[in-house]
Amino acid sequence: MTENTLTLISFALTMMVFSYLLGDLPLIRHLYRIAVYIFIGMSAAFTLIVGYENLLLPYWQDAQNPAISWTALGSQADIVVFGTALLFTALLLLKPVTRLGWLTNSILAVVVALGAAVGIVGALRGTLLPLLSATASLPVLDAELGALLESLLVLLGTMTALYSFHYQASSSGEGTSFGLGKAFRSIGKACVVVALGAIYAAAILSSMTILTERIAFLFQFGA
Amino acid sequence: MKGWRTVGASIAAITGFLVGFTALLSLLLGDNPALFGDDPQAEALAQNLALPGAALLRLLVIMLALSIVIGIANLLLLHARRMAGGRLMSGILLASFAAAIGWRILLPGEVSLLEAIQLPIESALAALLCLTLVAGGARILTKRSDIWGLLLVLVVVVVLLGSLPFPELAPIAAFSDWLMRIPAQAGARAILLGIALGSVVVGARALLGQDRSLRG
C-alpha cells in the first residue's frame, strides 16, 4: 500500500471519529460506530500478537533452553511451571461445570491469592513505605526556612486529607462534628479537591495536545 | 449438596491461602541476605527463599497471558454469533481483526497498518476526550454548585492558565506552581496512601478466603 493510501485511510478514520461531534444524525452516526468497531477488532488482534510474541513465545523458548532458568532449578522445572499454567488455564474453562466447582474455584483462588500477594507487596514496597518516608522526612532545622515550611505544609495537608477520609468513613449516619475536627476535615478535603483539579487539568492539557496534532494533520492533508 | 459446596469452598480457601501466603512471604523476604545475619550461607538461603515467589509469579503471568487469549477468543465467538444474526458491525470487527492478523503473518515487522488505522483512531478518540472533559467541567458548575465544585473548576482554570507561555500570566503561573507543589502534592499523597492501604486490606481479605467469588 502506498503512503498516500495510508494517509487517506488515516484521514477518513479521523473524520469518522470526529463525526461523533455532529450528534445523532442519520447515516453519520454509523461512521463513528464503524471506526470504534474497527478499533476494537484491531486492538484485540494487536493484544493477541503482543501477548503471543512478547510473553508466551519467549517464555516457552526460555523454558526449553537449558542455559536459562527462571526458577534456578533448571529448565525441567520451568517446563513444569509452564505446563502447570497451561493445565490450570484449561481447567478454568470448566467453570460452567458445577460438579467441578471445587476444582475451578481452587484454581481461581490460586490466581486471586497470587494477585493479592503481588498487590500487597506492590502497595507496601511501591507506595506505602516510600510515600510515608517522603512525607515524614523533614529537612534539617538549619535548612532554608521556606523548604522546612513547605515540607511541614505537605505533611499537614497529607495528614488532614487522610483524616478527612477516615472522618467520612466513620461519620456516615451521625451528624455530630467538632470545631477542630471539622476544620481539619475541610483542609484535607480542599487538598484532595486541589489534587483532583490538578489531575483533571493535566488530562485536559494532554488531550488538547493530541487534539491540536489531529487538527494539524487534517489541515496538512487538506493542503 | 450444600455440604459439598461448603467443602469445595473450604478447599478453595485453603489452597488460595497456602499459595498466596507462600508467595507473599517469598516476595517480601526473598533476596534479602541481611535477614540471616552473619550466617555464611546467607546469600544462598536468601536466594532459596525467593525461589517460590519467582516461580509462582511466572505461573501467574503465563496464566494471565493465556486468559487474555481466551478472552479474545470469547470476543470473536460472540461477534461471530452476532454476525450470523445479521449484525453488520460485528462483521466489521471480525474483518479488522482478521486483517490485522493476516497483515502480521504476511508482512512481519511492517507497522504501517498500525500507524494508518490504530494510531489515528486512538488519537482521535483521545482528542475527543478533551471536549468531553471541558464539557464535564462546565457541568460540575451547574450540577454541583457548592464550594468544592467551584474550587475544583478554579484549580483547573488556574493550572490551564498557568501553563500558557504568556509573560503577563507569570503571577498565575507562580500560583499554579505553588498549588502543584504543596496542596496538590499533599492531596495526591493522601489519595495514593488511601489506595495503597485499601489494596493491602483487600489483598489480605482475598488471602484469608473472605473474597465472595471464591466461596462457590
Closest residue to A210, CB basis, from B123, B155, B216 = B123
For residue A181, the distance in angstroms to the closest alpha carbon of chain B comes to 17
Domain hosting B54: range is: 31-110
Q: Does any domain span residue B106?
A: yes
Q: How many domains does chain B have?
A: 1
What is the reported pLDDT for B180? 93
Q: Does any domain span residue B149?
A: no
The cell numbers describing A46, all together, are 494487536
The pLDDT of residue A172 is above 60: no
Length of chain B: 216
Q: Tell me if B159 and A202 make a contact (CB, 8 A cut-off).
A: yes
Q: Does any domain span residue B68?
A: yes
User: What interface predicted TM-score (ipTM) does this complex get?
Assistant: 0.81
Residue B182 to residue B44: CA distance in whole angstroms: 46
Q: Does any domain span residue B95?
A: yes
Q: Does any domain span residue B133?
A: no
Task: List, for residues B84-127, the tens digit of each pLDDT value.
Answer: 998 899 999 999 999 999 998 888 877 778 888 889 999 999 99
Q: Cβ–Cβ contacts within 10 Å for residue B28, how many? A: 15
Task: List, for residues B168-203, the tens digit of each pLDDT value.
Answer: 899 999 999 999 999 999 999 999 999 999 999 988
- State the angle between helix axes of A101-122 and B183-207 in degrees (0 to 180), rounded to the nearest 10: 150
- The pTM of the full predicted model, rounded to 2 decimals, is 0.80
Which residue of chain B comes nearest to A122, CA vs CA? B196
Average pLDDT over every residue of A187-194: 94
Residue B160 to residue B213: CA distance in whole angstroms: 44
Q: Tell me if B188 and A198 make a contact (CB, 8 A cut-off).
A: yes
Q: Does any domain span residue B41?
A: yes
